[in-house]
């Protein structure tokens, strides 16, 4: 099914959040997310992107507004942070076990699920390695395997690939899209990269400077599967230009010419 025709999974309405220190991190943020859909979120540092993800994950409560889930309650969620946040004393496989262990599954009962998750991100050979033995890209793969272990319906990605070199980042983007095509989860993907936002998303949401508000939304035309052909296609470049201009409008509040 095309994600644009899927039923809504999540509706955010007029979300506002003020931290105890007085900073207004979000101001009337509203958007919908459909099952299987990917939205990427672009905006200047401090505009409230991470705060929005934490609200969706239930790690913060909104001061105003509502977070509504289809079916009444939050589905299984996966969260991948900017830092890989792996437990340094545990092997890669034991790190992936963590969410399963929190559900009461023993290591033996979880073994098949762990192996499948590691296989899916290409980390089978590193199952017994410790985080300090991994490259940055491998640590991110381990984080993704951990986030996917419980087969979430929604994956929340908080600028996960910002510290990686460009080719590793492109490879992870491609692998992520392939896993999503198999498993069908929706994604909210926070990034500072215009190119990445266009490559991954059905829609790009642009937030303005603090307090975080949505300024613009751009639908991305896919015209066929993503991959090397899309990355080098003229219509990918054109959409990157359009999103770049929209980002400048969102940040500076000025018009910068036609898209």
Ligand X SMILES: Nc1ncnc2c1ncn2[C@@H]1O[C@H](COP(=O)(O)OP(=O)(O)OP(=O)(O)O)[C@@H](O)[C@H]1O
The footprint of ligand X (CB under 6 A) covers 19, 21, 23, 25, 43, 45-51, 210
Instruction: Supply the minimum distance, in Å, between the C-beta of residue 3 and ligand X.
Output: 24
Q: Are 100 and 149 in contact (CB under 8 A)?
A: yes
Q: Are 250 and 216 in contact (CB under 8 A)?
A: yes
For the chain, first and last CA: distance in Å? Answer: 30
Q: How far is 39 from 33, CA to CA, in rounded Å? A: 7
Instruction: Supply the minimum distance, in Å, between the C-beta of residue 243 and ligand X.
Output: 16
Instruction: Supply the minimum distance, in Å, between the C-beta of residue 179 and ligand X.
Output: 24
CA 159 to chain centre: 7
Give 94 or 196: the residue with its C-beta nearer to ligand X. Answer: 196
Give 49 or 215: the residue with its C-beta nearer to ligand X. Answer: 49
Task: Give the 3-state secondary structure of residue 143.
Answer: helix
Instruction: Supply the minimum distance, in Å, between the C-beta of residue 23 and ligand X.
Output: 5
Give 51 or 180: the residue with its C-beta nearer to ligand X. Answer: 51
Beginning with the edge strand found earlier in the chain, give each strand of the sheet holding 38-42 in spatial order.
Answer: 77-80, 154-158, 186-190, 38-42, 203-207, 214-219
Task: Give the 3-state secondary structure of residue 80.
Answer: strand
Give 57 or 116: the residue with its C-beta nearer to ligand X. Answer: 57
Instruction: Supply the minimum distance, in Å, between the C-beta of residue 35 and ligand X.
Output: 25
Give 22 or 72: the residue with its C-beta nearer to ligand X. Answer: 22
Q: Is the dihedral of CA 24, 29, 34, 37 positive or negative?
A: negative
């Amino acid at each position: 099914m095309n994600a644009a025709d899927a039923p809504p999974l999540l509706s955010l309405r007029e979300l506002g959040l003020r931290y105890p220190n007085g900073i207004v991190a979000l101001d009337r943020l509203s958007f919908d997310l459909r099952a299987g859909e990917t939205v990427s979120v672009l905006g200047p540092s401090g505009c409230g992107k991470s705060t929005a993800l934490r609200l969706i994950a239930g790690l913060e409560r909104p001061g105003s507004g509502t977070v509504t889930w289809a079916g009444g309650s939050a589905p299984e969620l996966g969260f991948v942070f900017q830092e890989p946040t792996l437990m340094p004393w545990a092997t890669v496989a034991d790190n992936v076990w963590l969410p399963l262990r929190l559900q009461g599954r023993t290591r033996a009962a979880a073994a098949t699920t762990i192996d499948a998750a590691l296989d899916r991100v290409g980390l089978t050979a590193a199952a017994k390695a410790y985080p300090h033995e991994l490259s940055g890209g491998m640590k991110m793969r381990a984080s993704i395997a951990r986030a996917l272990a419980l087969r979430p319906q929604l994956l929340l990605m908080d600028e996960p690939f910002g510290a990686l070199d460009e080719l590793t980042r492109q490879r992870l983007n491609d692998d992520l899209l392939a896993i999503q095509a198999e498993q069908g989860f929706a994604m909210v993907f926070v990034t500072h990269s215009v190119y990445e936002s266009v490559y991954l998303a059905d829609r790009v949401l642009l937030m303005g400077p603090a307090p975080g508000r949505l300024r613009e939304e751009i639908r991305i035309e896919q015209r066929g599967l993503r991959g090397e052909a899309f990355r080098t296609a003229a219509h990918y470049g054109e959409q990157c230009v359009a999103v770049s201009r929209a980002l400048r409008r969102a940040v500076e509040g000025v018009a910068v010419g036609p898209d």
